[in-house]
Amino acid sequence: FYLNISEASRPVGEVSGRRARMLGPRMNPNRTAYFNVIRDPVSRCVSRFYYERDARGTFPHDATIDECMAPNGRCKFEEWKESEASGLKGFQRYRQFREECASNYLSRWFCGMDDVCHQDVHSREVLRRAKRTMAAGYAFVGLTSEMKANFQILKTLLPNFFDHDGIPLDICNKCKDAAGKPLPKEA
């Protein structure tokens, strides 16, 4: 996401689901704040497995993530190599799933497009560059599991955008407790 920080008293954009829409006519690169909200990598991988199983049929309907992760299971994340990247050999759902879960996906995302970010995906250099990008290039990086706290922080960091009555600060479309029951709405 990116926001054009304005001196105006009204918000300069809106967040809806996974998209941010700008209301202003122009972007000013000197007054742009980048922010990102990411999912915990393990939660993301588990969720992706069940999505691929249930919605796409990539795995048998009765398969579990534990079976997939077992030594003789189908996941075999430890065997993934950059040469198997889904973008290099055509789109294949299983290949994309394996890459996303095995290849240090979020570190590569924040590392950037340089060759080093995609050669040895588990190197310290990838992590170092990702950290540098996050520290120097983003006003904020949060976790999807902490959306309420994220919005409170963003409200402080970017008040022209987030301190507005029309922006819901308690977004949670799949919030559940450990038993899988929806969390109660706070008053």
Give residue-wise pLDDT tens across range 66-99: 999 998 888 888 777 766 666 555 557 777 888 8
pLDDT value for 20: 47
Judge whether 46 and 69 are in contact, CB under 8 Å. Answer: no
Judge whether 147 and 37 are in contact, CB under 8 Å. Answer: yes
Q: What is the DSSP letter of 184?
A: P
Q: What span, in angstroms and rounded, lies between the C-alpha atoms of 103 and 87? A: 13
Residue range 112-124, pLDDT digits in tens: 888 888 777 778 9
Task: Kindly report the average pLDDT of the chain as a whole number.
Answer: 75
| 2, two tokens | 């990116």
Which region, left, alpha or beta, applies to residue 80 given φ > 0 means left and ψ of -120 to 50 means alpha? beta
What number is the average pLDDT over the span 147-165? 80
pTM higher than 0.75, yes or no?
A: no
What number is the average pLDDT over the span 148-160? 83
**Helices then strands, each counted (H, E), the chain:** 8, 5
pLDDT value for 16: 45
